[in-house]
Amino acid sequence: MEIVVFDDKLLYYRKKSTLLLRDIIKVPLGKLFSNLPSARKIIKNGITVFVYHEVTDTPSQFSLDYGLAVSTGTFRKQINWIKKNFTIVHPEQLNSNAELPHSAALITFDDGMLSSFENGLAILEEMNVPSLFFLNMGSVIERKPLISAIACFMGQQSPAFKGYCSSNQIEPPYHLTLRPDVARVFFAENSEMNDEAILAYQGKFAEIDLVMKWSTSKNVIYGNHLYEHWNAEALSDQEFMDQYIQNEHLLSNLNNSVKYFAFPNGQPGTCFTERHIMLLKRLGAERIFSSSGNINVNSENFLLDRISFGNYDRTSGAMWFKVGLTYLKKSLHKLFS
């Protein structure tokens, strides 16, 4: 018998009930974390770094697929909560000789999506909150999609792309595994890639005029996210260094850039290794950032981790849960091991 879903309301209510169940679990755990003396000590003495991608009420399909967007109202609520519970610092304070304040926090953005400039930075400017923006200047200047968006879109839409990747020992998720040599040959030999369709899937990127406009703001600092959004582990050492140097050269023309770097995708092991950290030190990076959800116990570390808030992190309990999730996991692991 064929089962026909004739009403999207069923899926909507299932999703709502799932989110409600998550909140029932998250809120008390978040409150528990926020009241743990050991957790409060870590927050007080370290630095908590937050990362955003899109701030929009009309997210792209790419952002919906990967949970990259928060609405403008949710973003404002989250920043107000961060201001209430932390002391937001200017990115340049990381390299000053002055000691950071207690419960320091830093706001960062990745990539260069238009909505993060038009909405995110505009809201932060209104609230006088500084931020650090990691840019892929290739997409800014060439107006081409991020390589991650290309890989995700082609992986969904093109059987030929999937077949070619498989024949070259590249398996999903393609935004983590696709290599430049494979991409270059496929796109040279196939006419399937449509930049306009991929840009529609990805969402609009900021253009150079807007990037230059915000470079004059005392509250906005730019950092390096590679020239294109390649996953570091999919690159050779030389390719990785070339991507870093090309992006750094373009950023140096902007008077608000610093030698900070954030790994695309951000997960240790699958996205970068200790080898990449050593390469970045050799290239002159002063601070580097990952995105696996940890609070940073020591603000002087060369590698700082970041926490991503999503569109459903709207209550104080839910936000404390997201801040403390990795800490709670480690505590439970110790308790039961």
Return the residue matching tokens 């792209």. 60
Place of tokens 């951000």: 266
Q: What is the pTM of this model?
A: 0.92
Mean pLDDT, residues 316-324? 94
List domains and CATH numbers for the chain. 45-141+207-336 (3.20.20.370), 144-204 (no CATH)
Q: In angstroms, how far apart are the furthest CA atoms of the chain?
A: 71
Q: Look at residue 337 and tell me whether its pLDDT is greater than 70.
A: no
Q: What percent of the chain has pLDDT over 70?
A: 91
* pLDDT at residue number 18: 52
* pLDDT at residue 7, as a whole number: 43
Termini Cα distance of the chain: 48
Distance CA 108, CA 101 (A): 18
Share of the chain above pLDDT 90, in %: 80
Instruction: Quote the pLDDT of residue 9.
Output: 44
Alpha-carbon distance of 274 to 122, in angstroms, equals: 36
Lowest mean pLDDT among 29-43, 54-68, 74-88, 150-164: 29-43
